[in-house]
């Protein structure tokens, strides 16, 4: 028999239970640490939205709000693009396989706004990345510019940190 801290006699079954419980907790902590490390190491992106602009003319100071909701992770990411130049290249990311564009609105100051800009608010998109090419004259009149949206199978795009 074993004697405890306060002088009581401890059975070997009790000691065995304590050791077993400690081993289970230690195993769970190791598994949790591995999962956290794997999540931190996995910095790949799910789908990619590439946006290219080639405008002939810009009117006002347009701002494009694009909100992407990742259906896999439930992560909502807003992108705000201030359009100051005719030529632009932007990238928006999702971290899962399936996403939805919940907002795509272009504003020209407080007076003009185009909702569902480029008709991007079009339901759930699964396993497809997008390329959006914008051309023409960017003005509040929807007939002055052209949106060419193409969807393609998953694009692998990895984000790396600079060391």
**Dihedral (CA of 39, 41, 47, 52) sign:** positive
Q: Do 149 and 120 fall within a single domain?
A: yes
Containing structural domain, residue 14: 2-41
pLDDT of residue 28: 66
Would you list the DSSP string of 5-38? TTS-EE-HHHHHHHHHHHHHHHHHHHHHHHHHHH
Alpha-carbon distance 129 to 103, whole Å? 17
Q: Do 35 and 53 fall within a single domain?
A: no
Q: Do 64 and 24 fall within a single domain?
A: no
Highest mean pLDDT among 21-25, 71-75, 154-158: 71-75
Alpha-carbon distance 94 to 130, whole Å? 11
In a domain, 163, yes or no: no
Q: How many domains does the chain have?
A: 2
Token pair for 75 = 């992560």
In a domain, 32, yes or no: yes
Domain CATH code at residue 140: 2.60.40
In a domain, 116, yes or no: yes
In a domain, 63, yes or no: yes
Q: Are 157 and 131 in contact (CB under 8 A)?
A: no
DSSP E strands, the chain? 2-3, 9-10, 48-58, 62-70, 76-82, 87-93, 98-108, 112-114, 124-126, 128-138, 145-153
Q: Do 52 and 104 fall within a single domain?
A: yes
Of 62-66, 94-98, 99-103, the one with minimum mean pLDDT is 94-98
Q: Do 24 and 63 fall within a single domain?
A: no
In a domain, 161, yes or no: no
Residue 38, pLDDT above cutoff 50 = no
Residue 41, pLDDT above cutoff 50 = no
According to DSSP, the residues that pair with 44 across neighbouring strands are 158
Token pair for 126 = 């699964």
pLDDT of residue 150: 92
Alpha-carbon distance 162 to 111, whole Å? 42
* Residue percentage of the chain with pLDDT more than 90: 50
């Amino acid at each position: 028999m074993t004697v405890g801290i306060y002088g009581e006699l401890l059975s070997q079954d009790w000691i065995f239970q304590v050791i077993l419980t400690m081993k289970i907790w230690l195993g769970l902590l190791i598994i949790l640490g591995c999962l956290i490390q794997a999540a931190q190491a996995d910095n790949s992106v799910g789908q990619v939205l590439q946006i290219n602009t080639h405008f002939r003319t810009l009117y006002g100071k347009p701002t494009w709000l694009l909100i992407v909701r990742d259906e896999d992770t439930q992560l909502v990411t807003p992108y705000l693009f201030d359009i100051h130049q005719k030529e632009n290249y932007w990238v928006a990311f999702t971290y899962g396989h399936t996403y939805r564009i919940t907002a795509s609105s272009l504003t020209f100051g407080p007076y003009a706004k185009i909702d569902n800009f480029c008709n991007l608010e079009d339901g759930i998109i699964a396993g497809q990345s997008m390329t959006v090419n914008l051309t023409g004259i960017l003005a509040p009149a929807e007939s002055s510019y052209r949106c060419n949206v193409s969807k393609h199978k998953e694009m692998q795009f990895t984000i790396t940190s600079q060391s």
